[in-house]
């Protein structure tokens, strides 16, 4: 399949940017020590890397069955990623005996006032 250069260059830039975002996300997951903070680093790949790669594939292939498949995969990841993150964070907070040492715990009534006061 021969792809015109006017289609290849934007697709390559989008895919390379998506792969770079996923690489930064992966590096952050291995670099950050605490589990709940790792979830934030892992979200970069889902929220930035995956849409860029999908957009690059849409530009490269145009509207075809391959594009529909790529979009369905992206939607599946977007729907499953928050659920998995929530389950991982719930598991960590319920099983970690040293949670107070790893992060600051606030009661719900103080959480709202602290965020507003900036303390």
Q: Average pLDDT for residues 22-37, to the nearest whole number?
A: 88
Q: Average pLDDT for residues 102-115, to the nearest whole number?
A: 68
**Helix H or strand E encompassing 41:** helix 35-44
pLDDT, residue 1, reads 64
pLDDT, residue 114, reads 55
- The answer to whether residue 118 scores a pLDDT higher than 70 is no
39-82 per-position pLDDT tens digit: 888 888 888 899 999 999 999 888 889 889 989 998 998 889 88
Beta-carbon neighbour count of residue 42 at 10 Å? 20
Beta-carbon neighbour count of residue 115 at 10 Å? 10
72-103 per-position pLDDT tens digit: 998 998 889 888 888 988 888 888 777 777 77
Instruction: Note the maximum CA span of the chain.
Output: 62
Radius of gyration of the chain (CA): 19
Domain residue extents for the chain:
5-117
């Amino acid at each position: 399949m021969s792809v015109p250069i006017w289609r290849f260059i934007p697709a390559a830039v989008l895919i390379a940017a998506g792969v770079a975002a996923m690489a930064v996300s992966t590096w952050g997951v291995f670099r950050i020590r605490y589990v709940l903070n790792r979830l934030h680093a892992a979200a970069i790949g889902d929220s930035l890397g995956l849409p860029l790669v999908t957009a690059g594939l849409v530009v490269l292939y145009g509207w075809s069955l391959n594009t529909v498949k790529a979009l369905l995969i992206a939607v599946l990841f977007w729907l499953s990623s928050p659920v998995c993150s929530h389950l991982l964070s719930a598991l960590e907070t319920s099983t970690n005996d040293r949670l107070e040492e790893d992060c600051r715990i606030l009661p719900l009534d103080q959480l709202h006032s602290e965020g507003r006061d900036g303390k």
